[in-house]
Amino acid sequence: MDLKHAADAAATATSLTAGIDHAELENDGPKAFGDRIGTPAPDEKVLWKGRPALGLLARTAFHAHKAGAYMAALSVIALITGNTTAAMVVAGLGVVLVGLLYVLAWANARSTLYILTDARMIMRIGVAIETRINIPLKQVKAAHFRPRGDGHGDIAFEVAGERLLSTLLLWPHVRPFHYKMPQPMLRAVPEAAALAQMIAEARAQYGAIERNLTEIKEAAPASAQHGSQAPAAAGRLAPVLHRNEQGLEGAPA
């Protein structure tokens, strides 16, 4: 290896181990204002931060292209049947519908920040009501990766323990069709395969993690999942007071 390649390799290694300055997190996307759920502790190392890609989020979570194709098909049918006025109206409504879906996707992407530390995954999400979700890595049983093209993808988390988060609280940052045990999901993130590997390596300090790095299989979730900790009290979320404690937490800002 020549000196240039050695220097490049050293620089890459340094950038991966240096982490991200905590102060950067308050200047990028939704703020946590020091809230312990949404703010890494001083002794936590921030490994990665990111947010959904707008176009991909609009297509996969809000199905903007499917809606546009459906309205276009209705417009063509109206033209074939000789109803030009109806075709123009439907086409106009289709443009408005797709535009609204993209606006919703933009609002969600703008109000989202995913943060991976060496101890947990933090999700700052929510358009109307900002919510902060805290997923300790030790609680993650499996991380499923689904490629979406151009290096982007979705990563869903199976979490041990009792059901603590709702699909409504997480949407659209949740794996579809898993309502009994909702799985928080990072949507449309860039360099998703590398991020999945980073999550697995960070989780390795608590033991190996089950991964599926080819696609998310939409099999029905298990009928029951139980962790080693006692169930949380009804209506409350298991607290996470220290890095070494188990728990999953989410709360409105």
**Does residue 27 contact residue 153 with C-beta atoms inside 8 Å?**
no
Which of 3.40.190.290, 2.40.160.20, 3.10.20.310, 2.30.29.30 is the CATH number of 30-52+112-227+244-252? 2.30.29.30
Look at residue 11 in the predicted model and tell me its pLDDT. Answer: 38
Q: What is the pLDDT of residue 62?
A: 94
Of residues 115, 109, 118, 108, the one with CA closest to residue 25: 115
Residue 32 confidence (pLDDT): 66
Residue 191 has pLDDT above 50, yes or no: yes
Q: What is the pLDDT of residues 41-79, one digit of tens each?
A: 888 888 998 999 999 999 999 999 999 999 999 999 999
Judge whether 132 and 35 are in contact, CB under 8 Å. yes
Work out the mean pLDDT of the chain and round it to a whole number: 75
Task: Locate 41 and state its tokens.
Answer: 């502790």
What's this model's pTM, rounded to 2 decimal places? Answer: 0.73
The structural domains of the chain, with segments of one domain joined by +, span 30-52+112-227+244-252, 57-108
Consecutive H or E run containing 252: strand 249-252
Least confident of 114-123, 132-141, 185-194, 237-246: 237-246
Provide φ and ψ at 113, rounded to 5°.
Answer: -145, 120
Q: Is the pLDDT of residue 197 over 60?
A: yes
245 confidence band (pLDDT: 50, 70, 90): very low
Q: Tell me, what's the pLDDT at 42?
A: 83
Going by C-alpha positions, the residue among 184, 150, 149, 153 that lies closest to residue 166 is 184
Contact criterion met (CB below 8 Å) for 209 and 143:
yes
Q: What is the pLDDT of residue 154?
A: 93
Structure tokens at 169: 């609280």
- The single-letter DSSP state of residue 137 is G
Token pair 């620089």: residue: 11
78 in Cβ contact with 90 (< 8 Å): yes
State the DSSP H helix or E strand holding residue 211, giving kind and residue range, or none if neither: strand 210-212
Which tops the pLDDT comparison, 101 or 236? Answer: 101
Which amino acid appears at position 123 of this protein? M
Q: Which residues pair with 252 in a beta bridge?
A: 131
